[in-house]
Amino acid sequence: MERTGIKDRAGEAPVPRKSTKDRVTWRDSAARSFKADWTQVDMGREETAIVFGAGRPSPEDGEVTVDLLGRIVLTPFMVKRLALVLRDTIHRHEALHGPLGLDPVETDPLAAPGQRPAPEKELLLGLVSGLRVEFGFERSCKVLPGIILTDRFLLSLHRDAAPREQILDVFRDLGLPDAFWAPLLQNLPDTNLVHFGFEENEKGYVYKVYLELNFKNKYYPFLLYLGFKWDPRDSARRALARYTCYPSFTPEDIIKKLSLAFHGPGAEGSVEIAQGIVDTTSRVTRSVLYVETVEEGNPRKSFDINTYAAGLRLEAYYPMLKRMADHYRIPPKRFQAFFEAMKAKRFGHLSGGTDREGRDFFTIHFGVETH
Residue 54's pLDDT band, with cuts at 50, 70 and 90, is: confident
The stretch 151-178 carries a mean pLDDT of 93
State the amino acid at position 187 in one-letter form. N
Kindly report, residue by residue over 272-308, the tens digit of the pLDDT: 999 999 999 999 999 999 999 988 887 788 999 999 9
Instruction: Write down the pLDDT at residue 221.
Output: 92
- pLDDT at residue 218 above 80? no
Instruction: Write down the pLDDT at residue 60.
Output: 64
The stretch 337-349 carries a mean pLDDT of 93
- pLDDT at residue 23 above 80? no
- Let me know: does 41 contact 48? Beta carbons within 8 Å: yes
Instruction: Return phi, psi of residue 254, to 5°.
Output: -65, -45
- pLDDT at residue 48 above 90? no
Residue 9's pLDDT band, with cuts at 50, 70 and 90, is: low
> Which region among 2-16, 146-160, 353-367 has the lowest average model confidence (pLDDT)?
2-16
Residue 27's pLDDT band, with cuts at 50, 70 and 90, is: confident
Q: What is the DSSP string of 139-191?
A: EEEEEETTEEE--EEEEEEETTSS-HHHHHHHHHHTT--HHHHHHHHHHGGGE
Instruction: Write down the pLDDT at residue 350.
Output: 95
Residue 57's pLDDT band, with cuts at 50, 70 and 90, is: confident
Distance CA 250, CA 287 (A): 8
Residue 15's pLDDT band, with cuts at 50, 70 and 90, is: very low
> Which region among 86-100, 276-290, 321-335 has the lowest average model confidence (pLDDT)?
86-100
End-to-end Cα, the chain, rounded Å: 36
> Average per-residue pLDDT in the chain?
84
Distance CA 131, CA 163 (A): 9
Instruction: Write down the pLDDT at residue 67.
Output: 85
